[in-house]
């Protein structure tokens, strides 16, 4: 098969995959989460198999243990988190009004500090943020329905996801060997190298970055609650779990926490500074310790490309697209780096006289 025909075949398969995802996007959520769960738990099942436990029993033990932990956390924390979410949504308009009132009261000092023009720009920015926050609250119930968070969908998701994960885990190694058996023999070693790079990148996304998100959420929720910040638990969880979008989790959590602290502590700059310091301190810990240790260089993706993938796939596939965006970006990054490397080794880049191709940079 010529190179042109090979490229057309792969492009056709990619288009077919995208169309399939788009057509079935409404029912994909439990299958995607189940597949991610199976991928995450497969090393544990393999370890139990090394201890001479049958794979069916190993899968059952691991999955039941995870379900028990999740259900226990749900029973202990979800009622409290639900109360705080409802309370925060109800209080957010009042927090916005209080911030505007504080700004009006401090306007002489702010004018003297920033100057009339910059103070007016700050006032306009606060008013815009207030309108956006109130608009988001007004549309939140409809958005939850749009992404499928209705009673029937939640029940179907909680029942179907463990079933999908169980059967995928049960036959995971068989599926892997089956896919390997379908690879073209002439290019098998090269494709195996690409798949290993994709597996490394996906492990960084699902295991490494997932671990960072959970640690972030636990730290922010605990620290803000210990400080005594109103709704600190739910604000910390939002900040931690949203940090899979570069800078968004930090900015959202920092803005919410500092805004609530300004109102709650009546302008006590020490307490406001402590709340801000929690986020600044943890950003340093995450960037210099957690991320290098848990993720390392396995996710070599430019943050701009990551944000584009989230917005693009979210716009096309909705909530399912948001879940797929990060792993798809990781896979695309590996394939683009491979394509750049092959291009730099080709006569199209080197010319007929030949030369030395360079390594592609981060994608």
Cβ–Cβ contacts within 10 Å for residue 218, how many? 13
Alpha carbon separation from 254 to 210, 227, 250, 304 (Å, rounded): 21, 14, 6, 21
Q: Which of 48-52, 73-77, 108-112, 344-348 is predicted least confidently?
A: 108-112
Kind and range of the H or E run holding 160: helix 151-170
Cα separation, 172 vs 36, whole angstroms: 12
Per-residue confidence (pLDDT) for residue 130, from 0 to 100: 64
Q: Per-residue pLDDT for 132 more than 90?
A: no
HEC profile for 88-124? HHHHHHHHHHHHHHHHHHCHHHHHHHHCHHHHHHHHH
Cα separation, 346 vs 110, whole angstroms: 61
Per-residue confidence (pLDDT) for residue 61, from 0 to 100: 94
pLDDT digits 0-9 by tens, 175-217: 888 887 877 777 778 888 888 888 888 777 777 777 888 899 9
Cα separation, 310 vs 323, whole angstroms: 9
Specify burial of residue 93 (Cβ count, 10 A radius: 0-12, 13-18, 19+). Answer: middle
- Asked if 147 and 319 count as a contact pair (C-beta separation under 8 A), the reply is yes
Q: Which range, 10-19, 95-104, 137-146, 296-305, has the best average confidence (pLDDT)?
A: 10-19
Cα separation, 227 vs 236, whole angstroms: 12
C-alpha closest to that of 217 among 245, 186, 242, 192: 242
pLDDT digits 0-9 by tens, 215-230: 999 999 999 999 999 8
Mean model confidence pLDDT for the chain? 79
Per-residue confidence (pLDDT) for residue 146, from 0 to 100: 52
- Asked if 345 and 190 count as a contact pair (C-beta separation under 8 A), the reply is no
């Amino acid at each position: 098969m010529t190179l042109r025909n090979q490229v057309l075949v792969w492009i056709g398969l990619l288009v077919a995959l995208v169309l399939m995802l788009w057509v079935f996007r409404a029912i994909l959520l439990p299958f995607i989460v189940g597949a991610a769960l199976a991928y995450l738990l497969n090393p544990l099942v393999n370890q139990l198999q090394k201890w001479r436990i049958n794979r069916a029993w190993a899968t059952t033990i691991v999955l039941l243990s995870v379900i028990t932990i999740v259900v226990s956390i749900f029973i202990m924390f979800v009622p409290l988190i639900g109360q705080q979410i409802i309370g925060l949504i109800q209080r957010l308009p009042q927090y916005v009004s209080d911030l505007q009132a504080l700004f009006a009261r401090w306007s002489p000092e702010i004018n003297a500090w920033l100057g009339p023009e910059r103070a007016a720009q700050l006032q306009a920015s606060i008013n815009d943020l207030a309108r956006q926050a109130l608009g988001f609250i007004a549309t939140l119930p409809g958005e939850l329905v749009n992404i499928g968070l209705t009673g029937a969908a939640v029940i179907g998701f909680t029942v179907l996801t463990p079933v999908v994960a169980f059967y995928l885990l049960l036959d995971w190694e068989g599926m892997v060997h089956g896919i390997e058996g379908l690879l073209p023999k002439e290019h098998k070693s090269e494709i195996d190298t690409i798949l290993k790079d994709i597996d490394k990148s996906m492990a960084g996304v699902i295991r490494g970055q997932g671990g960072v998100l959970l640690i972030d959420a636990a730290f922010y929720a605990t620290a803000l609650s210990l400080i005594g910040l109103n709704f600190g638990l739910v604000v910390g969880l939002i900040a931690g779990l949203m940090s899979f979008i570069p800078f968004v989790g930090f900015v959202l959590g920092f803005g919410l926490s500092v805004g609530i602290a300004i109102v709650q502590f009546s302008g006590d700059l020490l307490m406001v500074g402590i709340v801000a310091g929690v986020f600044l301190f943890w950003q340093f810990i995450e960037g210099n310790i957690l991320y290098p240790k848990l993720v390392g260089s396995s996710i070599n993706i430019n943050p701009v490309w990551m944000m584009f993938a989230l917005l693009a796939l979210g716009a096309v596939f909705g909530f399912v697209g948001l879940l797929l965006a990060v792993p798809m970006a990781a896979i695309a990054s590996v394939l683009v780096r491979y394509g750049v490397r092959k291009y730099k080794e080709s006569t199209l880049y080197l010319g007929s006289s030949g030369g030395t191709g360079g390594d592609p940079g981060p994608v």
